[in-house]
Amino acid sequence: MPAPTRLLAAAVTAAACLGTTAVPAAAAPDADAVVSRGVRIPAFYTPPAALPAADGALIRTERLPLALSLPGVDGPLPGRATRLMYKSTDAGGQPMAVTGAYIEPTAAWKGSGPRPLVALAPGTMGQGDQCAASLGLERPLFLNGQTVSVGYEDLAIYRMLARGIAVVVTDYAGLGTTDRLHTYVNRVDEAHAVLDAVRAARSLDGTSLTDGSRVALFGYSQGGGATAAAAELQPSYAPDVPLAGTYAGAAPADLVAVTEAIDGSDLAGALGWSVNGFLQTDPALRPIADAHLNTAGKAALKDLSTMCVGDALLAYNSARSTSWTTDGRSLGAVIEAEPALKAFLAGQRIGTLKPASPVRVATGTADDLVPHAQARELAVAWCAKGADVTYKPVVLLPLGNSLINHFAPLLADQGDAISWLADRLNGRPADSNCSGIRRQP
């Protein structure tokens, strides 16, 4: 069995252990329903024509049934979930609707102060609306013969709920919501979606959150980039959302380096999600894409636009972008040759602004998918700006497969990352190790 297939099988097994099984294809949908790879997207995810003015304002809510829910003395375990749609602002300054979920834990918070809140930014889910993390809470494993969706972030969410920490999860721009394409790894869209999720959770009725509830951010991979960008933009975009701490694991801070690394890898499909997202953000880039992409490349982008990460692992494993371009050059080479593309990606660089609150940057030393060196450079850049940085190299032996090298640190470091956030939520100061970061791997 190839390594990507083994990893996908492991993720499927883990999702099944959370209390769900593979489900059959959905019944024939209504004529007006949005369908993605045979999955009927609930009407909740279609935004209204008019949106509220305030960022973070709730648009609609409904109860969200968790896949794993057990009876408890004080209520269902791990808690009660609410599906959210809230207003945010995209990178172009335009209003957008974003979905997500808030989970009120049944467990008591035993730390200092009122119950805290963590905003979780999911790792790579895909680009199809059926891949949204909020849907993954309801169905951690979805198989219908056309798509494979795995809610692997549920593990981290449940671990925080068990500590009595409330959690709000964002689906990001265009993932779940049916009015636009997901702008994969767009730092501004992601940062705004994360920060506005906090605002939305705070305004939700019937929770135990108070004005004094401390807030922290948690994210790995795509999520690490989203929380890193949110920590940078919080002082200017959301000064009303002070942060106790931010965990940014395996953050794709330098998209040029990440593009080169994933080309030909197990997760080569992410190249298509990136390009699709760039074109959604800046349609002026489309003539450049049209000039360089051949028929196979354009077909791949269209195909990937409705795929989840499991689908891409199976369909585009080890694909090389040289087969997608008119002249056989890689997408990295095309970016290097096109000033507009270079400028766009330069604008996506994370590490140019100083976070105003403590950050924990973790990266696997063997990670060659979201390269360790560029993630470490993020910590170095923040340290140079005087930020409060805790840098954690997750030292693991190379395991012979780029996806496993990337995924293993998530599991190996997750407990320590949550404990670090819990300390910040308890009001304990962080111990910055900027002074010794250049001596670490």
How would residue 156 be classed by pLDDT, with cut points 50, 70 and 90?
Answer: very high
**pLDDT at residue 32 in the model:** 64
Could you tell me which of 320, 332, 309, 331 has the C-alpha nearest to residue 407? 309
Mapped onto helix, strand or coil, the DSSP state of residue 6 is helix
CA distances from 7 to 14, 368, 403 (A): 11, 16, 8
What would the pLDDT profile of 348-369 be if each residue is shown by its tens digit?
Answer: 999 999 999 999 999 999 999 9
Residue 391 has pLDDT above 50, yes or no: yes
**pLDDT at residue 118 in the model:** 98
The CATH code for residues 256-346 is 1.10.260.130
Residues of the chain above pLDDT 70, percent: 92
**DSSP code of residue 19:** T
What is this structure's pTM?
0.93
Two structure tokens written together for 207:
């929770």
Q: Mention every residue, 6+ apart, whose C-beta is less than 8 A from residue 346.
A: none
What is the Cα–Cα distance from 384 to 388, expressed in whole angstroms?
Answer: 10
- Asked whether the beta carbons of 412 and 394 are under 8 A apart, the reply is yes
Two structure tokens written together for 303:
């195909």
How would residue 437 be classed by pLDDT, with cut points 50, 70 and 90?
Answer: confident
Residue 77 has pLDDT above 50, yes or no: yes
What's the average model confidence in pLDDT over 115-143? 97
CB-side neighbour CA atoms (13 Å) of 45 = 31
What would the pLDDT profile of 180-218 be if each residue is shown by its tens digit?
Answer: 999 999 999 999 999 999 999 999 999 999 999 999 999
**pLDDT at residue 439 in the model:** 64
Give 360-372 as a DSSP string: EEEEETT-TTTTH
Domain with CATH 1.10.260.130 in the chain: 256-346
Q: Mention every residue, 6+ apart, whose C-beta is less than 8 A from residue 324.
A: 293, 294, 296, 297, 300, 331
What would the pLDDT profile of 318-335 be if each residue is shown by its tens digit?
Answer: 999 999 999 999 999 999
Domain with CATH 3.40.50.1820 in the chain: 54-254+354-439
How would residue 75 be classed by pLDDT, with cut points 50, 70 and 90?
Answer: confident
Residue 221 has pLDDT above 90, yes or no: yes
The CATH code for residues 54-254+354-439 is 3.40.50.1820
What is the Cα–Cα distance from 289 to 134, expressed in whole angstroms?
Answer: 32
- Asked whether the beta carbons of 171 and 177 are under 8 A apart, the reply is yes
Q: How many CB atoms lie within 10 A of CB 295?
A: 9
Could you tell me which of 300, 314, 293, 261 has the C-alpha nearest to residue 7? 314
What is the Cα–Cα distance from 173 to 193, expressed in whole angstroms?
Answer: 7
Q: How many CB atoms lie within 10 A of CB 354?
A: 15
What would the pLDDT profile of 3-34 be if each residue is shown by its tens digit?
Answer: 444 444 444 334 444 444 333 333 333 446 79
